[in-house]
Structure formats: C-alpha cells, structure tokens
A = this chain, B = another copy of it.
C-alpha cells in the first residue's frame, strides 16, 4: 500500500494505544492514576526502541539482530511499531496499582523485541503456509498481549484488599467512569485503521467491508453485553458494556473480511462471553485485573480465532480442518508467549521482585514511586487511608 495509507493506519493504532492508556488510567484509583499514565508513556518509549533495535530484524529476516548497518541506516517500520504498542499496552494496564515500576518495564522489552516480532515472523512463514486465518492481528497483538498480561497478573498477585479471607472479591472502582468510557471510545475509533493496517486487501471494496464489519461487531458486542447485564443484574452496567464492546472489537480482528451477519454474530457472542469471562477471572479464578484486559484481549482473541476457522465460507469438513489449523496456531502462539513471559517474570520475581511494598500500595504508587498527587486541587475520599495507616 502507499505510504499515506500506512501512516494513516499507524496513526489509528497510536490512537487505539492512547485510548487504552486513558481507559487503563481511569480504571485505577486516583492514587495510582499518575503512575498508570507514566507507565503507559514509558511502555510506549521502551517498546518503540526495543522493536527498532531488535524486533525489526527478527520480523524482517533480512538482517541480523543489532546489526550496526541496520541501525545506521534510514529504515522505516512505522506501522509495525505503532501496532506493537497495542500488545505491550495490555500488560501495562493489567499490572497497575501494585507492581513495581522498573521490573515491569521489562515486559515492554520482551513484547517489542521478541514476542510480537517472532509471532509476526511466524505469521509470514509457517502459519501462512498452514493457512492460519488472522486477518487483522487478533493473534499477534491481542492474544500475545493478553496472555502476557495473564502471566503478569498471576505472578504479581492481586491488589491488597481485593480478595477476602472467605474467598469473596471486593470491587475496587476505578476513579473516573467518564474517562474510562472516553478511552474505550477512542480505542473504537483507532480500531478500524489498526485492523486495516494489519490486513492485505483484494480490492478497494474489501477495505470498506472490513471497516463496516468492525462497526457491526462492536455494536453487536455492546448490545449483547447490555442484554446480559439486564438478565444478570437487572440494570445496564457501564463497565461490563465497555468490556463487551471492546471484546467484540478484538474478536472481529481475526476475520474482519467476513459476511456482515457473521460480524454481528461474532461480536454478539464476544459481548456475552467476554463479560462472563471477566467475572469468572475475578470471582472464581481470583486473578486481579483492574482493566479487564485479560478477558477483553486474550479470551476474546481466542474466540475470534476459533470463529475465523469455524465460520469460514467452506464445506463442513474444510471448516473442521481450518478449525484444527486455528487451534494449532493458537497453541503455538500461546505457548511461546506464556513460556517467554513466564520465564522472564518468574526470574524477576525471584530476584528483584515484581511487587510494590504493601505500604507503597496503600499510599498509592503516585506518592510512593513518583512523588506526585494526580489531583492536588480536589478533596479525595481516599485520603482517609493515610489516617488509618498512622493508627
């Protein structure tokens, strides 16, 4: 495609990433909201440099890693860098409110330098030859990021006060519902160009069909989760609706070039299973995920990748075969991601530690790690905690 097209899609991916940062920062308590955004900016910086220095060579295969000739050339990897930021951003959101700043920065290096580039290389080589379907980056961006986030959440552990001794879970509300919704809406806007940038097209019309399907899936996901909320709680819940809405966007990313009606179906199913998965991960598995990133990205990517095989336009036998290919690719990508991120984070946990001190978590990471208050002009209800601590 033309340079303008790639720049446009890359800008869209950056908007998606910024929307993710806004959503993630809104879903934490105000005492951790500066920290959430500082980590988002740091993640963006580190991932860009890691992808450029190492990842690009892995992905491109026409050069050696850290080849001085490569580094001293003028080379472009604009869209690939922008898209990679989405994968690394998922981890940043999930690990918020309780993890140490520096050790968690390594996940940005891991994703930018190794995981996304390796999966990208696979996507162009053996997965491609196998016939693996992933039209818009559900595996390479969302499955990798989401699974790395899952590993991180397990190894970092839940926030203090999240789970009670009797096994019940406390809701810890994010500090700004409006900001969370604004972030989700900006992600929605950036989603169309991001998926288009990940795709290769057969025609101009194909571009518009994909764009339309992304809208349809998001709408179906949002509505399905709204209906789910009515059935389960009798009231529409804004966060579950956002989870269903974003989950549908992840799911359709696997096969944006499907029929309209399948886009609606894939989105609607995502709008049901992603909120249920988010509840399951929290209440049953007791994995603490402030921004529901694991459900939105990992669970929904799995559904999208399976659906891309199961509902391909082909006879039943061919679809079953395709489903097998999808599951094989899924397993390979999941294994790579879990192994690499598990090894890295386990090592860090055993040495420097991943977890902020309990007192720091109590004060909030803004004050403890960054010496700043996010909203100095406003009286906050969380101020009570400081008194409790002095007692």
Oligomer: number of copies: 3
Q: State in angstroms the CA–CA spacing of A18 and B235 once bound together.
A: 24
> If the complex has contacts A189-B15, A192-B11, A236-B101, are A226 and B42 also in contact, measured as CB distance less than 8 A?
yes
A241 close to B377 (CB less than 8 A) = no
Task: State in angstroms the CA–CA spacing of A78 and B238 once bound together.
Answer: 26
Tell whether, in the assembled complex, residue B377 and residue A381 are in contact, meaning their CB atoms are under 8 Å apart: yes
Q: Within A204-240, which residues are at the interface with B (CB < 8 Å)?
A: 204-205, 207-209, 211-213, 215-216, 218-223, 226, 233, 235-239
Per-residue contact bits, chain A 28-45, to B (CB 8 Å; 1 contact, 0 not)? 011101101110111011
Identity of the chain B residue whose Cβ is nearest the Cβ of A37 in the assembled complex:
B181
| Chain-B contact segment, one of A46-54, A146-154, A335-343 | A46-54
Q: Do residues B379 and A381 form an inter-chain contact, with CB atoms below 8 A?
A: yes
Are A74 and B41 in touch, CB under 8 angstroms? Answer: no
Q: How large is the interface on A (under 10, 10 to 19, 20 to 34, 35 or more residues)?
A: 35 or more
Question: Does B237 lie within 8 Å of A205, measured CB to CB?
Answer: no
Contact with B along A363-383 (1 / 0, CB 8 A): 000100111111111111110
Q: Output the least CB separation between A289 and chain B (Å).
A: 18
Q: Which residues of B contact A220 (CB under 8 A)?
A: 45, 49
Question: A92: CB under 8 A from chain B?
Answer: no
A-B contact pairs, 28 of them (CB 8 A): A3-B204, A7-B211, A10-B192, A11-B12, A15-B189, A21-B185, A34-B177, A34-B181, A38-B236, A41-B181, A42-B222, A42-B223, A42-B236, A44-B219, A45-B221, A49-B223, A74-B258, A76-B205, A76-B208, A76-B209, A78-B212, A81-B212, A82-B215, A175-B378, A177-B366, A238-B372, A378-B378, A378-B380
Measured CA separation A3–B207 after assembly (Å): 6
Contact check, B205 vs A37: say whether CB atoms are below 8 A apart.
no
CB proximity to B under 8 Å, residues A242-259? 242, 245, 257-259
State whether A2 and B204 are in contact (beta carbons under 8 Å apart), knowing that A71-B260, A193-B7 are contacts in the complex.
yes
Contact A178–B34 (Cβ < 8 Å):
yes
**A173 to B373, Cβ gap below 8 A?**
yes
Decide if A25 is an interface residue (CB 8 Å cutoff): yes
Verify if A5 is at the interface (C-beta below 8 Å from B): yes
Q: In the bound complex, do residue A380 and residue B380 qualify as a contact, i.e. CB atoms below 8 Å apart?
A: no
Q: How far is the CA of A390 from the CA of B71 in the complex (A)?
A: 64
Whether A242 contacts B41 by the Cβ 8 Å rule is yes
Q: Which residue of B lies closest to A234 (CB)?
A: B371
CB-CB < 8 A to A192: which residues of B? Answer: 7, 10-11, 14, 78
Please tell me if the beta carbons of B41 and A222 are within 8 angstroms of each other in the complex.
yes
Which residues of chain B are within 8 angstroms of A41 by Cβ–Cβ distance?
A: 181, 184-185, 222, 238, 241-242, 245
Contacts A45-B219, A73-B259, A222-B45 hold; do A233 and B11 have CB atoms under 8 A apart?
Answer: no
Least Cβ distance of A270 to chain B in Å?
A: 13
Given contacts A18-B188, A31-B377, A78-B212, 17 further A-B contacts (CB under 8 A): A4-B5, A7-B192, A15-B189, A18-B186, A34-B177, A34-B181, A34-B238, A40-B185, A42-B226, A71-B260, A74-B257, A75-B212, A175-B375, A237-B370, A239-B372, A377-B380, A377-B382
Contact pattern, A 342-375, Cβ under 8 Å of B = 1, otherwise 0: 0000000000000000000000001001111111
Residue A302 at the B interface, CB < 8 A?
Answer: no
Chain B nearest Cβ from A219, distance in angstroms: 4
